Amino acid sequence: MNKIFKYVFIGSAVLLLVGVAFKIKAQYKKLMNYCYRVYSFKINSISKDLVDFTLKIWVRNQSDILLTITNYSFDIFMMAKYVSTASNVINQKLYPNTVSTFDVNIKFVPKDVFKAADLISFLSMALANSEEFKIKITGFAGAKAGILSISNIPMSFDYTLKELMTPSDTETTCKV
């Protein structure tokens, strides 16, 4: 009888561990199937000395795991020209099975990026043809779930100025 109990106990423990391993794998798969998009663009200030704007980013966490974004680092390009790097250490929670937001604040000094003549043509193009004015943001975010940390989660956004300036009214639209 004692031997049977021992085998049943060991078999149950093995089945429990296998079940937990499958659950963790399924949640990890859902977690890595994240969806994100820029849904809002706000100009904080604009002058010859500083351009400051904020992008609000929706992130859909499709898993049952509470995730915390711990940092990000994005390179910003406008019309394929490097403009700035936005990086920050944050503590933004992404709740399970919901959509959460975080802000990316971008600042740059125009005269460091453009010569005076380039800046005028650059701004006139942006104002005249917002459908052709392209903005690319590419980089990485870091996150943690409990005691596990995930670094260098790739994120990349390609938008026209018109797309950024048109607020999105639905979180179901994700541009991945």
Which DSSP letter does residue 80 get? T
Residues in Cβ contact with 107 at an 8 Å cutoff, skipping those fewer than 6 apart: 50, 51, 52, 84, 86
Task: Strand 35-46: give its sheet, edge to edge.
Answer: 35-46, 51-61, 98-108
- 149/169 Cα distance (integer angstroms): 32
Q: pLDDT-derived band of residue 73, with 50, 70 and 90 as boundaries?
A: very high
37, 43, 78, 130, 146 from 160: Cα distances, Å: 13, 15, 9, 7, 37
Question: Residues 118-149: pLDDT tens digits?
Answer: 667 777 777 777 788 888 989 998 989 888 88
pLDDT of residue 70: 92
Residue 19: DSSP 8-state: H
What is the structure's pLDDT at 1?
60
Average pLDDT value for the chain: 81
Q: Is the pLDDT of residue 167 over 70?
A: no
At residue 46, the pLDDT reads 82
